Amino acid sequence: MRVLIAGAPTVERSTLRSALADAGDDVLTARTPGGALVSARGTRLIVIADDFDDGAIDAELRRDHPGAIVVRGFSEAVVALAAALRAEDGGREAVEEAERRSTFLAEASPLLDASLDLRATLDSIAEVSVPHLADICLVDVVDGPEVRRVASAAADLQLERLLRSLPRRYQVDVAGDDPVARVVRNRRAEIVHGEVSRVFGGRTQLGGHLPRAAMIVPLVARGRAIGVLALASLSSNRAFTDAQLELAGELAHRAALALDNALLYQHQSTLARVLQESLLPDRLPEFAGVDLGAAFRPAGDGAVIGGDFYDAIVGADDALTLMIGDVTGKGAGAAALTSLSRHTLRTAAMYERGPSEILSVLNRALVSSRGRRGKYCTVALCRLERSGGGFTARVSCAGHPSPLLLRGDGEVRAVGAPGTILGFVDDPDNPEVVTALEPGDAVVLYTDGITEARTRSGLLGDRRFAEMLQGCAGMSASAIAARLERAVVESQQGDTRDDVAITVARVTDPHSG
Amino acid sequence: MAIDIRLTEEDGGVRIVVGGEVDLATGHQLERTLLRAEDRAAAITLDLSGVDFFDSTGLQILLDADVRARSNGHRLVVIPGDGEAARVIELTQVASRFTSAVVE
């Protein structure tokens, strides 16, 4: 029975996955919703982590997978449900088959664990196979006529070195008689003798070692053969038994899942990154007398779109408005809210004459579009207006940390006052604070992904961030943004929990720049 | 990441005491508890003083709870304490803007 588990990596998910796989279910896992879930055809049971806050996904899944049961949360109840569904499907036979499989795996090695970590999975497979099952183990991904080696292992170091010297990519005739092409085409394992060399890309000898026989097992994921697992023997005495072929099938099954998930995940990450990038400005505007810079790093591994945004826009009256904000939540809903917020603020900034007025436009838009849940957004806004030979900074904040001012001499202080978060009440308080800027001064807007970053000595905090900024005295806006981002990332432990966004505007010195 | 939610009946209402972390992974549990409590009781006290981590997820839950209390007519009392929840409530300046929620 095919089961799909979707959700952030947690101990519960691994436990559930093991429980289901041990019972014989074909378990697919995905970290994120969207493509992964919709394309897992033939899935009978779909288990989603509670932390996917997109409530619409349940309905979407039921629509796309008629007949599938969709449940939320990982628990023993899900295992019981799966057993009940299985009993309906295959009966005793399926259970016995599952028991046999799990016995093989228990005997093979405790290292075998279908994790999403591709490298770890492939390495465990190689470790388990060699030398117990074969002298050489190869994992190849096959895409049309192209074969690409993703893992290899051999019984001794010299052989391993030889394997690594072989071409990592080669071509096969998909309709031809090459054993690899055949196995992929037929999706059926074969034991080959005599044409073993072709598994190695055409070399008949590996420094004098002659492969005598090989088991070539297809890597099948979601009904598609994505490659092969080849286990070759150099000894004429080693004949592959049915039991070994069966175990090779188990290893291939694990490898296929891991590879498929990795490819899917990579695709998801790319998709998310492209989407995220469309939510951010392509480039910052030119504004005479001010040098602009920005840095942005999405949370975690970037596969889930977060809610931070920033922008800079020149208004009708030749004033520059810098903005930075943070919407609640993650994922598609947050992305839509980010887009709404950023574009509403941009438009308001083109016509409104003051920072509080700009914020009030977004507030009205958010309050009027609230649904079952509110749409809330924190923003820090800084309007730079020309004044005499220099600039005036008019700052207004809504539930957001006040921007920092870095003076030419290295002094750092906050500019701005606390204000009500937007989207909550009809009449928020977002007082304005006015500061005169001199050449060399830089205004830094940032999101709390920075001050909330987890470091070895606790949360980064305001004081340490201010110290990092002091170290940037005299740098250009881009350099300041880049340096701060790098400093935060370096001091951090593990993945970022939240997006990190920084926007910097520096008044250039007409003499030195 | 773990959250600790304790619900007790008290005269006239329900008290929800939260500990641990309120974030993307755990927030829905708090929200569900609040929604169920709102069905049963006319008065809810939400004690967030023991919370170690509170981000926009928790804020969303809190603000939505206030808006629901406004329209449903039940009484909501929020105790931010002086830790993480209080910090976020202070930064977003919402304490003085809760319509129904009385912050102690």
For A373, the closest of B60, B91, B97 (CB atoms) is B60
With CA atoms as reference, the chain A residue closest to B60 would be: A328
Q: What is the pLDDT of residues A218-268, one digit of tens each?
A: 998 878 888 999 998 887 766 787 777 877 887 888 778 777 777 776 666
Minimum mean pLDDT among A111-115, A189-193, A273-277: which range? A111-115
Query: Scanning the structure block, which residue is given the tokens 């910097």?
Result: A504
User: Which contacts qualify for A362-365: CB closer than 8 Å, 24 or more apart?
Assistant: A362/A422, A363/A398, A363/A422, A363/A423, A363/A426, A363/A428, A364/A426, A365/A340
Q: Does A51 contact chain B (CB < 8 Å)?
A: yes
State the pLDDT at residue B80: 93
For residue A189 the two structure tokens come to 């394992």
With CA atoms as reference, the chain B residue closest to A10 would be: B1
DSSP state of A509: P
Shortest CA gap A385–chain B (Å): 27
Report the number of secondary-structure helices (H) and strands (E) in chain B: 3, 5
Q: What is the mean pLDDT of residues A35-63?
A: 66
User: What does each C-alpha distance from A490 to A55, A483, A496, A497, B82 come to in angstroms?
Assistant: 36, 10, 11, 14, 30
For A424, the closest of B25, B27, B97 (CB atoms) is B97
Contacts of A452 in chain B (CB under 8 A): 55
Q: Whole-angstrom Cα distance, residue A474 to residue A488?
A: 19
User: What does each C-alpha distance from A225 to A140, A182, A185, A256, A261 come to in angstroms?
Assistant: 11, 11, 8, 8, 14
Please report the residues numbered 368 through 427 in chain A whose beta carbons come closer than 8 angstroms to any beta carbon of chain B.
Answer: 370, 373-374, 376, 378, 399-401, 418-421, 424-425
Please report the residues numbered 261 through 320 in chain A whose beta carbons come closer than 8 angstroms to any beta carbon of chain B.
Answer: 307
Q: Does A459 contact chain B (CB < 8 Å)?
A: no
CA atoms within 13 A on the CB side of A427: 2
Rounded to two decimals, what is the model's pTM? 0.60
| CA nearest neighbour of A124 among A254, A261, A231 | A254
State the pLDDT at residue A358: 97
Q: Does residue A283 register a pLDDT over 80?
A: yes
Are A134 and A252 spatial neighbours (Cβ–Cβ below 8 Å)? no
Contacts of B63 in chain A (CB under 8 A): 374, 376, 421, 424
Q: What is the pLDDT of residues B7-59, one digit of tens each?
A: 999 888 999 999 999 988 899 999 999 999 998 899 999 999 999 999 889 99
3-state SS class at B78: strand
Phi, psi of A428 (to 5 degrees): -65, 155
Shortest CA gap B49–chain A (Å): 19
Rounded percentage of chain A residues whose pLDDT exceeds 70: 75
Q: Whole-angstrom Cα distance, residue A484 to residue A490?
A: 10
Q: Does A327 contact chain B (CB < 8 Å)?
A: yes
Rg (CA), chain B: 12
Buried/exposed A304-318: b ≥16 CB within 10 Å, e otherwise: bbbbbbbbbbbbeee
Residue A110: band (very low, low, confident or very high) from pLDDT cuts 50, 70, 90? very low
Q: What is the mean pLDDT of residues A433-440?
A: 96
State the pLDDT at residue A494: 66
Minimum mean pLDDT among A162-171, A488-497, B72-81: which range? A488-497
Q: Whole-angstrom Cα distance, residue A273 to residue A294?
A: 17
Listed ranges A251-265, A273-287, A408-422; the one with the highest mean pLDDT: A408-422
**Dihedral sign, CA of A120, A121, A127, A128?**
positive
Q: Does A54 contact chain B (CB < 8 Å)?
A: no
Shortest CA gap B68–chain A (Å): 9
Cβ-proximal residues to A30 (8 Å cutoff; 6+ apart), any chain: A4, A5, A6, A36, A37, A40, A261, A264, A265, A268
Cβ-proximal residues to A289 (8 Å cutoff; 6+ apart), any chain: A386, A391, A507, A508, A510
The average confidence (pLDDT) of chain A is 80
Q: Does A495 contact chain B (CB < 8 Å)?
A: no
For A424, the closest of B57, B90, B94 (CB atoms) is B94
What is the ipTM, given to two decimal places?
A: 0.94
Are A183 and A189 spatial neighbours (Cβ–Cβ below 8 Å)? yes
Shortest CA gap A415–chain B (Å): 15
